[in-house]
Amino acid sequence: MADGQTDVLVMKGIAKGFPGVQALEGVDFTLRSHEIHALVGENGAGKSTLMKVLTGVERPDAGTIALAGRTVAPRSTQQAQALGISTVYQEVNLCPNLTVAENVLLGHEPHRRGKIDWRAVHARARELLLRLNVDVDVTLPLDTYPVAIQQMVAIVRALEIGSAKVLILDEPTSSLDAAETAQLFQAMRTIRAQGTGIVFITHFLDQVYEISDRITVLRNGALVGTYETRALPRLELVAKMIGRSLTELDEMAKTKLETARGIKPETTVSARALGKSGAIAPFDLELHAGEVVGLAGLLGSGRTELASVLFGSEAPDQGTLAVGGAPVEDHSPLASIQRGVALCPEDRKSQGIVDELTIRENIALALQASRGWFRYLTVEQQYELAEKYIELLNIVTPSPDQLVKNLSGGNQQKVILARWLATHPRLLILDEPTRGIDIGAKAEIQKLVLSLAEEGMSCMFISSELEEVMRTSHRIVVLRDREKVSEFSGEVQEQELMQAMAGSAR
């Protein structure tokens, strides 16, 4: 520990479960004063839950929190703030139509003779912002300034109101450009110099290495470890984040080799300099019948965005796309479905299932949409369709009339798969098809992808679990910072892939 540093926050053995998920299990976390501490992990690793426990949004099932040596148990964000734990969230939650000064001091304005002393409010707000090198007119409404400035205002407010010992920055840079990020980092260094401990949550690894002193890695709700940033090579960090378990690889590898022979030269989808500004940089991509192409990359690397422009749920604004040789004019989900492109979206609950409809209706939905309003699949046809896929995909349910919301995650995912298989797509894009489902269902879905390819379908497989991508894909496309950076076919070493995902190795 460097001179003058103390453990300002010690969390020990934190556990938190939600129905069906153990979000945190025995997690320890220590934050020192004068420190910027990066908290990293893939989606669902438990970062946000840990911070929610710390800020009083959630109560832990077990574990203790000590702040400056004293045990605390915050029960609300207000209480946490009063204790000296302040948070600035991803989306700035201030009042955009109030002035900068009002936002900084709202509820804590200096008074004079029973009235708010506006002169003092403005002077104080200006002084606080200047400490972080932010020189703006504090009497203008907040929304006249870019997000970066708004974020600074949020930070200043958090520091001022909470006189924070602990400042949590949750993905603060996700909507900032390079110059704004540099400005934010300057402010963070200033705050660190004043002694406050900063928890910095981000998925940009470059930034972790640029600014943090220590790194804590979480995975699947458990602590992987806490490391000095200087002592942890980038590649090792990536390995720790995604984890590796090498099980039942043999069988899958054999199937993969066999199916690789079935890849046809026929191109199903070809993208030329296709892209959408702000979402995914222009990329070239060719997909073939009978081939499984995996997308690898860390969270936020642009995997979902690439899939979205192929499917048309996000219309690309540059480049060209051809499906089955025909150039694509109309970028929309409906048009995509009609030309044989299907997408299993990333977020099953909000983008996939229609929870109050039955299994039968959910399965018929996309096929019916492609047929239009009046070429109605009769209820009998819907039953036939549903029963066929319930058997084929082994969906566990008492009846096709079960509401989808009553199914387990894995079975819900199979219903969505059935919805797309019913449209007989030539390209099936699967975005995180195995997230949040149990191991058994995971393996089933991976095998299904391979057997679909065997039948001549072209598949795109997206997952944050690297071994899963490697196991199912004939070819792997690697994305980093919303850009396609490389492509690997044939046998590929995990090391190589991680190198590509992480960028320049240290």
Partner 1 sequence: MSPAGNPRHRKLTESRLLFPVLALALILVFDFFYVPGFFTITNRDGNLYGNLIDILRNGSAVMLLAIGMTFVIATGGVDLSVGAVMAIAASVAAVMMNPVILGTSIGTDIEKFVTDPSFTYSPLWEVILVTLAVSTLCGLWNGLLIAYGRIQAIMATLILMIAGRGIAQLITNGVRIQIFYEPFAYIGNGWLVLPFSLYIVAAVFALAWVLTRRTAIGLFIESVGINATSSYFSGINEKRIKVLAYAFSGFCAGVAGLVASSNIRTSDANNLGWGYELDAILAVAIGGTLTTGGRFSLAASLVGALVMQATTTSILAIGVPAFAVQAIKGFVVVLVLLLYSEQLRALLRKLTSQWGA
From candidates 67, 101, 366, 445, binder to partner 1 by CB under 8 A: 366
Give me the residue label for tokens 């996939």: 352
Whether residue 261 contacts residue 454, with contact meaning beta carbons closer than 8 Å, is answered with: no
Both structure tokens of 344 = 């299993």
Could you say whether residue 380 binds partner 1 (CB under 8 A)?
yes
CB of 376 or CB of 489, closer to partner 1: 376
Q: Which stretch binds partner 1 (CB under 8 A): 7-15, 26-34, 260-268, 363-371?
A: 363-371
Give me the residue label for tokens 């979902």: 304
Q: Which stretch binds partner 1 (CB under 8 A): 62-70, 197-205, 234-242, 373-381?
A: 373-381
Q: Which stretch binds partner 1 (CB under 8 A): 117-125, 126-134, 323-331, 374-382?
A: 374-382
Query: What kind and span of H or E run contains 228?
Result: strand 222-228
Phi, psi of 344 (to 5 degrees): -90, 105
Whether residue 137 contacts residue 169, with contact meaning beta carbons closer than 8 Å, is answered with: no
Tallying the residues shown for the chain, one arrives at 506
Could you say whether residue 379 binds partner 1 (CB under 8 A)?
yes
Phi, psi of 73 (to 5 degrees): -145, 80
CA separation for the pair 39, 46 (Å, rounded): 10
From candidates 199, 364, 430, 441, binder to partner 1 by CB under 8 A: 364
CA separation for the pair 468, 452 (Å, rounded): 17
Closest distance between partner 1 and the C-beta of residue 383, in Å? 5
From candidates 67, 166, 365, 457, binder to partner 1 by CB under 8 A: 365
Could you say whether residue 279 binds partner 1 (CB under 8 A)?
no
Burial label, 119 (beta-carbon count in 10 A; 0-12, 13-18, 19+): exposed
Whether residue 197 contacts residue 8, with contact meaning beta carbons closer than 8 Å, is answered with: yes
CB of 107 or CB of 398, closer to partner 1: 398
Closest distance between partner 1 and the C-beta of residue 433, in Å? 14
Q: Per CB under 8 A, which of residues 402..461 are in contact with partner 1?
A: 419
Q: Which stretch binds partner 1 (CB under 8 A): 199-207, 378-386, 474-482, 491-499?
A: 378-386
Both structure tokens of 380 = 């009998």
Could you say whether residue 96 binds partner 1 (CB under 8 A)?
no
Strand pairing report for 62-67 and 70-72: antiparallel
Give me the residue label for tokens 């900068």: 100
Q: How many residues belong to the site for partner 1 (CB under 8 A)?
A: 38
Could you say whether residue 334 binds partner 1 (CB under 8 A)?
yes
Q: Per CB under 8 A, which of residues 341..360 are in contact with partner 1?
A: 343, 345, 350-357
Closest distance between partner 1 and the C-beta of residue 365, in Å? 5
> Using CB under 8 A as the criterion, which residues of the chain lie in contact with partner 1 when the complex forms?
313, 333-334, 336-338, 343, 345, 350-357, 361, 364-366, 368-377, 379-380, 383, 387, 399-401, 419
